Amino acid sequence: MNVAGETSTSSLIAQMALHIKAELNNAFQESGANITSDQWGVLKCLWQEEGISQSEIAEKVNKDKASVTRILDIMQKNKLITRCDDERDRRSYRIYLTEEGKSLEGKLKPVVQATNRRVYRNLNEYERQELQKLLLKLMKSDE
């Protein structure tokens, strides 16, 4: 919302999120990686812990289950992940990386680091850390 010609903080945060997403998508495309920023979020989860459920992924990437299902469908089609039946819950799947999905970690992390440096280039290290602290503090206020 604009108040007396000023942009609200919420609007700025939303705009920045869209900007970062676009920057990441462009960087992935330029690097030749056939992934999106949404798929990057899923890959990060799976690099940390394989064999988690689609619901767990949805929670970790802060997306609804339907969106995560679509993302996983594309990733499976592109041979980045595989779904295995959950032995404890036949209605659920466990998600695992393929060798190709695992191999992307070393290629994509430098792309993301370079993108982050470019996005945050106008902030010094202290400012970047403070921004991160403040955003985390705001996110915790929802709990």
Contact 43, 68 (CB under 8 A): no
In this predicted structure, what is the pLDDT of residue 1?
Answer: 45
CA dihedral 26, 126, 42, 50 (to 10 degrees): 140
Query: How many residues would you count in the chain?
Result: 143
**pTM for the model:** 0.84
- pLDDT for the residue 5: 54
Question: Is the distance from CB of 80 to CB of 100 less than 8 angstroms?
Answer: yes
Mean pLDDT by 10 residues, the chain (143 residues): 65 94 97 95 96 94 94 97 84 92 96 96 96 90 61
88: DSSP letter: S
Question: What residue ranges do the domains of the chain occupy?
Answer: 17-140
Tell me the two tokens of residue 135: 């955003």
CATH 1.10.10.10 fits 17-140, yes or no: yes
Number of C-alpha atoms within 13 angstroms, CB side, residue 86? 15
